[in-house]
Structure 1
Amino acid sequence: MLHVQAGQGDMSQKESFGIHDAAYRVGRSELLAWLNELLQISYTKVEQCANGAAYCQIMDAIYPGEVPMKRVIFDAKLEHDCVKNYKVLQAIFEKRNISKHVEVEKLIKAKPLDNLEMLQWCKRFFDLNYAGNEYNPIERRQGKASPAGKVASSAAPKVMEKKSSPVMKKPPLTVNTKDQSPSTPMRQKPIRPASAGLQRSPVPDASSRMANMTADFSHLEEQLHASQTTNSRLKEELQEMQLSVDTLEKERDFYFHKLREIEVLCLQCEEGAESKDTIVSKTLAILYAKENETPPTDFLDEPADVNAEGLSEDARHAQQDEGDEGAGEQEQVREEEEYRQEEEHEKME
């Protein structure tokens, strides 16, 4: 059974220690040895306390019967199961007016420094408040597996002495009355520190650390390969888009050149330099000309049935009105084309 003699005092005095207290300089090996001795478990890392079950059972040892151990999930691995354990811990803190702030989100993530600080606080709080009552951790867990995944093999609880200060106690002096006379000085037994009986938890060897580093390196390599694949795919898409843009620009310039040539022909038609039928034939030649092909402008003969002098006055006026309307329509088409080109240029920028 655990047996610790606790000092007298109220709750505020037993809880009043800050971050600069000597308790926060206790190493993880000593903490794990103390925890394994107290709860009869086999922890090897402070991160195994992340699910909160060990913290709950430490409070159960300090305040017997006040922690509902049936609600504690010792093999909790999922986040919501761990949160349930911390709710049990929060309930005992509120019941006992303990003002310790517990950052549950950091502890659940199994960060070593956060759990080391929490375990240091629990040990110091245990040293100040444990009343020396007998405590059987296996019986309190009702035979459930410990958070480390194993049930301690020894059914009988062990006895552990609680140190209220780092000063070592001297054992009583003994005298051999049979072999020594009264004048013979008494021989003192060597002093053993109180922590000498505690078993040190095994430290991970170099091979296990190397295995962890190899696994992390493999994971980073996979992430790098995935990033390189994504980068290559994005580069290909960018090249395809650039090719599409170049093609669109060429088509835009090609058709703009056609419109410009047709515009020049229309202006010649207005000036009377070319006949209407000639303008129509040249326009068709320009429209059906392929890329990088200069449309012929002199392959058509002058039409034989054109005789402007034989037209009546009304026909000439009608032809002039028709030419004016065509010129207005061409000007409107040209303005619309320029406006469309400006919009495309702004979008491309």
Structure 2
Amino acid sequence: MATNIGMMDSAYFVGRNELLSWINDRLHLNLSRVEEAASGAVQCQMLDMTFPGVVPMHKVNFDAKNEYEMIQNYKVLQDVFNKLKITKPLEINRLVKGRPLDNLEFLQWLKRFCDSINGGIMNENYNPVDRRSRGGKERSVKGSSKISKSLQTNNNHPPPNSSSVGLSKALGPKPAKAVEVQALLKELADLKLSVDILEKERDFYFSKLRDVEILCQTPELDDVPIVGAVKKILYATDANESALEDAQEYLNQSRGVEAEDEGNGEQEEEEEKTQSLSCD
């Protein structure tokens, strides 16, 4: 069961369009951005599809908008991880922020994990809409009660006359609201620019790492200690700990073996010289 996947694994080269198609096809959703999965509900249902009956879907809130609601979904997901003995750490504080890169990487891992369980074959007997329906019915009932109360309140007051309606329409949005909207649009444009820069930077460093990996796979370099040390860093699977210490230890051990071999070679040469002198 692939719970830990190294950063150079092909899973982290899956594009967002492929991920969105994978989610939408299997769960009958219509996501257009990976950030829309930040609530954790999608991840819960993907595991429910992969391991039927393990996820208590009645506790999953697909309408979660606030962070505290999303955190509840991730608590459900963490419980499922514990049941399935999945050791991947859940960085909830980062995921609920809706940052594209964090959610993209988590969904890339999720796809690889689910594919490793069922070979990428979709569970034809699973009805994603039906599995969500219980929570949906509960929300519908709550919504209808709010609507009925609203209607009762409106019935207690006379309808506004046509002149007041026309006046309210003529006034339009308040200037303060218009300024706030402009500020939010500017902030959104800045965020999109930041995301584009981060994605380009990520792709740049991934390409560099890939070049290093290809170089390290050269057969003639297999026995070079520094190449082995670099491979230990490239293929490390623990995301929480640095592999630098292991690589340095490997390098030191390799150097020790080489030094020992050189010492033995020098000793053999001295013995040969001694023997030749004695014979003379």
The TM-score, its normalising length taken from structure 1, stands at 0.38
| Greater helix share, structure number | 2
The TM-score, its normalising length taken from structure 2, stands at 0.47
